[in-house]
Structure formats: C-alpha cells, structure tokens
Amino acid sequence: MRRVYMDANATTPLLPEVFEAMRPYWTEHFGNASSIHLDGQQARTALDRARETIAEFFNCHEAEVVFNSGGTEGDNTAIFGLLRPGDHFITTAIEHSAVLQAASRVAQQGVHVTYVAPQPSGLIDPADIQAAILPETRLISVMLANNETGVLQPVEEIGKIAKTCGAFFHIDAVQGAGKVPFDVRRFGCHLASISAHKVHGPKGTGAMFVRRGTPVESLIVGGSHERRQRAGTENVPGIVGLAKAIELAMHSLEDGTIEQVAVLRDRLEAGILAIPGTGLNGMGLPQKMGAPGPAFGTWESTNPVPRVANTTNIYFDQLEGEALVIALDLKGVAVSGGSACHSGATEPSHVLMAMGLDKTRARASLRFSLLKTATQADVDQVLKIVPEAVQHLRALSPVAAGTLG
Ligand SMILES: Cc1ncc(COP(=O)(O)O)c(C=O)c1O
C-alpha cells in the first residue's frame, strides 16, 4: 500500500541532502569539537559553519546562537533560565506543553503566571497581552505558529509590547521556522527556540537565539560548551544536519515550494470540507454539535486568519477523531487528532478547547499537516480515502446514533 504522510507538524523525515551532510560526522570526522588536534578542529569547523547558517536564519550574531537538543529544551531554558519567585510570566493557553508544563512548574515555585486565551479564530490578540502586563512582568512567551491549527501569531506586535514594558520576549518558533520568514530583530525577541526534526533535520537537535546580554541561566551545567550557555559535548552530526535542513528551508521559502504546499493544502481542505458535517477550526465557529457550520463555499473568504501553508485542522461532526485517525492509518494515511505530542492522551486538545470548541467537537477534529515534499497525488489519494472512511465510521458510530453526549 502506498502510504501518504500528512503529519509533518509531528515530525518530518530527513531530506537526503541532510543525511548526506551528516554522514561524515558519524564516521571519519568524529572528533570532539573541544579537542585541539586535527580531528577536533574538523568538528569545530563544522560547528562554526553550522552556527553561521543558523545566525543567518535568525538574523543574529553567531555568538547569539546556542545549540541544544530541540524545542522542548529551548522552551524550558527560556522559562526556567529567566524566571524567579515573585516574577510575573505571560504566556498563552495555546502553547505547546514544553511551555505550559514549564509554566506550571514555575507557578508552583512562586512565579505568577497569566495564560492569555486566544480568539475563537485561534489568534492571540496583542491587546490581551498588553492588558496582562504587570510591573513585575519579566517574561512573555508566545509561539510563532500553533502546532495544531497552524495559526500565525502576531509576534511582531507582541515584541513591541515587550519592549515598551521592559519584559523579555521568547518566541517558540518550532512550528513556524521554515514555513514563514523569521527575523529576531524584526520580531523584537530576546530568545527563540527551533527544532531540527520539524524541518527535515534530525530528532534531538535544535538551537536557540539568545540576544546578547539576556541573563538566561543554563539548564545544564558542566563544561564550557556553547559559551557556558549549554554544557555537554556538542552533537556535531546533529548540528550539521540542523544547519543543512535550515539552509534548505530558507531556499524553500524563496523558490515557490511553500506557495505550492499552500495550493495543495487548500485543495485538500476544500475537498474535505465538501463532506457534510465538517468545518474548519480557526474561524470562530458555532460551538454546538449539530449547529450549522460556515455556509459552504464561503469558508475561504471568511477566514482571514494568517496560517502557515501546510496545516489545516478540521472537525468531523458525529465522529470520534481518534477512530478516524486509526481508520485512515489502516488505509495508509497518517494524520493526527489534536497534538501528536500528546498521543495516547484521552483529553481533547487544549488548543481547540481554548478556542471555544466544545469537547465533542474538539474530539472530532483532525490535523492534516503536509510535508513540503507533498504532491498532488498525495492529496488525491487522501481525498479518495477520507470521505469513504468518514461515511463508513458514521454509519457505525454511536455518536451518530445519538448514544454519546
Ligand atoms: C510548538 C512546539 N514547540 C515545541 C515543541 C517541542 O519540540 P521538540 O520535539 O524538538 O522537543 C513542539 C513539538 O511538537 C512544538 O510543536
């Protein structure tokens, strides 16, 4: 069976060029970048080159790039590294658990945390961030793009608010990186986190932008790696892979690839929305089960929310999303219900719930996230399989029969 992978926001495969770039650093160029001999120097040179690429991506100085293990570590570092009891921290109710769990831990330690709710569209209103500011606000953390809806947040406006009130600003750019242009100077942030495996790089590798002079404490102590900001022997092959993946992602933003992904996503979305009882999450929809969705055919023009090109999040009334994920998987289509990082959890998506969906509709929602290598054939295959699977499940579903609330 030909499989179609539409779960790019969970992870992406290594591109062949990334694999090839990494290969020598597992084998002949295996040196420790801290060693002074030739083998060490080769590793150090590779790290320096990778740092230049990531600095170009962030639009920052090379000394402001810190390599780490990925998005979770970057998010944790911003929060644990800056906040102390008595501080005030502003974040949003739709952040990834790497932010939300860190926030709940610092809250237990005496940090006052405000969770700003999104609009029903999935967008954070900068005015709500502004309204949450207190004299002791030390850090604001808002994501660039939401992993479940793809909605792009107004980070530039939030950066201006942070500047005015003198707070530090962290952007979780894990899902936006490589999908929209990123510029730490324009966005006015002090910290930003990215992760290689979301952009066709290796898992367990990432980087952080740390603006010069930001007093963020290292989570991991030991050697003097990464200018004492992150101890531990550098993962040279991983870092080389991250840099190659980011270099390719920067090209994709310029060569029309991302626009092509948007065309495919829009076709996919329109095709799925032609199934009765479906609707797009991220438009301020009616909340009651059975309430009419947006007038069909008008969804495009009534959806002004900026989104990344590859993501759509759709509800299927009278269905359990999880059952549909499994049915699609059996037919060779990989998608995700809610956030894949929470797979196994029975709770409905905290993001969709924060946007005001009721539990039933949140549970009935699926995320389709396209790889940048997606093709029209992939979309055609998914558009053939989804309506059949929906029809089949609805015929069997106790939700459809009205036995579930
Ligand atoms: C928005 C966001 N932040 C952080 C992370 C965590 O990144 P990592 O998997 O590199 O730890 C993810 C992963 O899904 C994410 O989507």
Q: CA-CA distances (angstroms) from residue 91 to 78, 94, 169, 240, 308?
A: 12, 9, 10, 32, 21
pLDDT tens by residue, 170-205: 999 999 999 999 999 999 999 999 999 999 999 999
Q: Which of 5, 1, 89, 25 is nearest to 244 (CA)?
A: 25
φ, ψ dihedrals at 116, nearest 5°: -80, 130
Q: What is the Å distance from ligand 1's center to 168 Cα? A: 21
C-alpha 194/C-alpha 209 separation (Å) is: 9
Q: Measuring from atom 7 of ligand 1, which residue has the nearest CA? A: 71
Identify the pLDDT of residue 296.
Answer: 30
Whether the model clears a pTM of 0.75, i.e. scores above it, the answer is yes
Q: Could you tell me which residues come within 8 angstroms of residue 270 by beta carbon, excluding any fewer than 6 positions away?
A: 300
Residue 308, pLDDT above cutoff 70: yes
Distance between start and end Cα atoms, the chain: 36
Most ligand 1 atoms within 8 A of CB, residue of 95, 96, 343, 369 to mutate:
96
| Residues whose beta carbon lies within 6 Å of some atom of ligand 1 | 70-72, 75, 96, 98, 143, 147, 172, 174-175, 195, 206, 341
Identify the pLDDT of residue 338.
Answer: 65
The single residue listed with the structure tokens 């991250």 is 242
Q: What is the Å distance from ligand 1's center to 11 Cα? A: 9
C-alpha 130/C-alpha 237 separation (Å) is: 42
Q: How many CB atoms lie within 10 A of CB 341?
A: 17
For the chain, give every domain's residue range: 4-11+256-396, 16-253
Q: Could you tell me which residues come within 8 angstroms of residue 56 by beta carbon, excluding any fewer than 6 positions away?
A: 250
C-alpha 4/C-alpha 335 separation (Å) is: 9
The single residue listed with the structure tokens 């940090």 is 111
Q: What is the Å distance from ligand 1's center to 280 Cα? A: 23
Q: Could you tell me which residues come within 8 angstroms of residue 227 by beta carbon, excluding any fewer than 6 positions away?
A: 63, 66
Identify the pLDDT of residue 158.
Answer: 98
Architecture of the structural domain at 4-11+256-396? Alpha-Beta Complex (3.90)
Identify the pLDDT of residue 34.
Answer: 95
pLDDT tens by residue, 83-140: 999 999 999 999 999 999 999 999 999 999 999 999 999 999 999 999 999 999 999 9
Per-residue tokens: 3:
């499989």
Q: Which amino acid is at 325?
A: V
Of ligand 1's listed atoms, the one at least distance from the Cα of 145 is 1
Active-site residue, 60 included: no
Residue range 2-19: mean pLDDT, rounded: 98
The correct answer on CATH 3.40.50.1580 for the domain covering 16-253 is no
